[in-house]
A = this chain, B = another copy of it.
Amino acid sequence: MKSSERRMTVYDIAKEAGVSASTVSRVLTGNGPVNEQKKELVLKILEKHEFRPSSVARSLKARRSRSVGFIVPDITNPFFSSMFLEVETRLAVAGYTVILCNSESRRERELEILQMLMEKEVEVIVLTGGIVDDLFPQPKMLRDIEKINHRVPIMTLSKFPGVRCTQAYSDEKQGVFDIVRHFHEEGHRKIGMIGGQMDVRQAFERKIYLLEAVNQYGMECRSNWLVEEGFSMQGGTRAMEKLLSLPERPSAVFAYNDVVAVGALSVIEKHGLKLGRELALAGMDGISLTESIYPGITTVAVDYAAFSDYVVEFVMNQGKGEQYKEDRVFPMHLICRGTTNVNRDAVHPVR
């Protein structure tokens, strides 16, 4: 098992086959003609040594790394892991390799990662839920991402207004409005929101949308019914606990995402509140967990397939033609489940 052994190269193969390295390379890539017998001989020797050409050397010459970078805030969030699974599976078939990086929703970390991925010469960087834009984008940040984008195409899976890079995102405004309308139809008039983080644009925007919707439907939302506490399950738990400790509280709560909703749900159940009637809850993203726990969590789902198709298409089309496309907006769709359905108990046995 000595790793000191030098790696086999095309030259070694060439020598053994009594041909030149060029010929071996031609056999390997299929570029250029090779005498049928020599080809077979070379193939036999390649097979014998189980020779695999170094893709590092190959990348250097070809100026193509056949790899892409994928940045997520936290791979532990099922929304991101599902998205990654879809994308990775499809890109793998096409011979691409995906480098996954966790940014922890920290701006410095994100920039470090972008630098690193550029050095690695990935062909595309997919930035999901990035925060580079910041809520109030400093000019520097904007420059950063555009400069980087100048060298390696970036595709963001969330909205970065004003940044010149290919963007794909869900129609979150529509999604939030769908939820609020649903709350309204179920008779709720006092709405709260949990989850999110001050400096993340996406969180900020969803909050704005909520307020707009609440306003439009003539409902109420007090400022202390907006509890942040981040994007995690634990955050959802903390936020809901804070919310429930208030003297007066909303009857319906919109969670920043499904993960936060799951964390919040346990608090509601622990407190013995009647779901849907005493306290309704809805999340966002449409992760599979929302339908796998009882009672199902109402959510607006993103179109995973559409997203990953688009990402794969973008990666595949790199080099050929345009580098920058119009924003692509996907609709979200509301899925009503137990956490907002007051008639739930009629369907399933009473617990």
Task: Give, as a whole number of angstroms, the nearest-CB distance from A86 to chain B.
Answer: 10
Task: Give, as a whole number of angstroms, the nearest-CB distance from A55 to chain B.
Answer: 4
- Which one of B3, B7, B67, B101 contacts A92 once the chains associate, using CB atoms below 8 Å? B101
Residues of chain B with a CB closer than 8 A to A136's CB? none
- Chain A 37-83 residues near chain B, CB threshold 8 A: 50, 52-57, 59-60, 63, 65, 67, 74-76, 78, 81-82
Residue pair B81, A75 in contact (C-beta under 8 Å): yes
A interface, CB within 8 angstroms of B = 1, 3, 7, 50, 52-57, 59-60, 63, 65, 67, 74-76, 78, 81-82, 84-85, 88-89, 92, 97-102, 104, 113, 115-121, 147, 149-151, 153, 164, 233-234, 236-237, 262-263, 265-267, 269-272, 288-289, 292-295, 319, 323-324, 348-351
Residue pair A1, B324 in contact (C-beta under 8 Å): yes
Query: Knowing that A1-B323, A76-B85, A98-B101 are A-B contacts, what are 9 other residue pairs whose CB atoms are under 8 Å apart, sorted by A's residue number?
Result: A50-B147, A52-B118, A55-B121, A56-B121, A76-B82, A89-B102, A233-B288, A266-B294, A271-B349
Residues of chain B with a CB closer than 8 A to A272's CB? 348-351
- Contact of A97 with B75 at beta-carbon distance under 8 Å, contacts A293-B262, A293-B266, A293-B293 already known: no
Q: Shortest 9 CB-CB distances between A and B: which pairs?
A: A266-B294, A269-B294, A272-B349, A233-B292, A100-B100, A55-B119, A52-B119, A75-B81, A76-B81
Task: Give, as a whole number of angstroms, the nearest-CB distance from A283 to chain B.
Answer: 13
Q: In the bound complex, how far is the Cα of B76 from the Cα of A56, in angstroms? A: 30
Residue pair B323, A294 in contact (C-beta under 8 Å): no
Task: Give, as a whole number of angstroms, the nearest-CB distance from A226 to chain B.
Answer: 22
Residue pair B78, A76 in contact (C-beta under 8 Å): yes
- Which one of B116, B153, B348 contacts A97 once the chains associate, using CB atoms below 8 Å? B116
Q: In the bound complex, how far is the Cα of B198 from the Cα of A48, in angstroms? A: 33
Task: Give, as a whole number of angstroms, the nearest-CB distance from A195 to chain B.
Answer: 14
Residues of chain B with a CB closer than 8 A to A1's CB? 149-150, 164, 323-324
Q: In the bound complex, how far is the Cα of B56 from the Cα of A4, in angstroms? A: 21
Residue pair A263, B237 in contact (C-beta under 8 Å): no
Q: In the bound complex, how far is the Cα of B76 from the Cα of A85, in angstroms? A: 7
Residue pair A56, B54 in contact (C-beta under 8 Å): no
Q: In the bound complex, how far is the Cα of B272 from the Cα of A292, in angstroms? A: 16
Task: Give, as a whole number of angstroms, the nearest-CB distance from A311 to chain B.
Answer: 15
Residue pair A262, B292 in contact (C-beta under 8 Å): yes
Residues of chain B with a CB closer than 8 A to A265's CB? 293-294
- Contact of A88 with B102 at beta-carbon distance under 8 Å, contacts A53-B119, A120-B97, A262-B292 already known: yes
Residue pair A233, B294 in contact (C-beta under 8 Å): no
Residues of chain B with a CB closer than 8 A to A269's CB? 294-295, 351
- Which one of B76, B84, B115 contacts A100 once the chains associate, using CB atoms below 8 Å? B84
Residues of chain B with a CB closer than 8 A to A119's CB? 52-55
Most buried by B among A53, A54, A117, A323: A54
Residues of chain B with a CB closer than 8 A to A149's CB? 1
Give me 29 A-to-B residue pairs in the complex whose CB atoms sit less than 8 angstroms apart, sorted by A's number: A1-B149, A1-B150, A1-B323, A1-B324, A3-B153, A3-B319, A3-B323, A7-B151, A52-B115, A52-B118, A53-B119, A75-B75, A75-B84, A76-B82, A76-B288, A81-B81, A85-B102, A88-B100, A89-B102, A92-B116, A99-B99, A234-B288, A265-B293, A266-B292, A267-B294, A269-B294, A269-B295, A270-B348, A272-B348
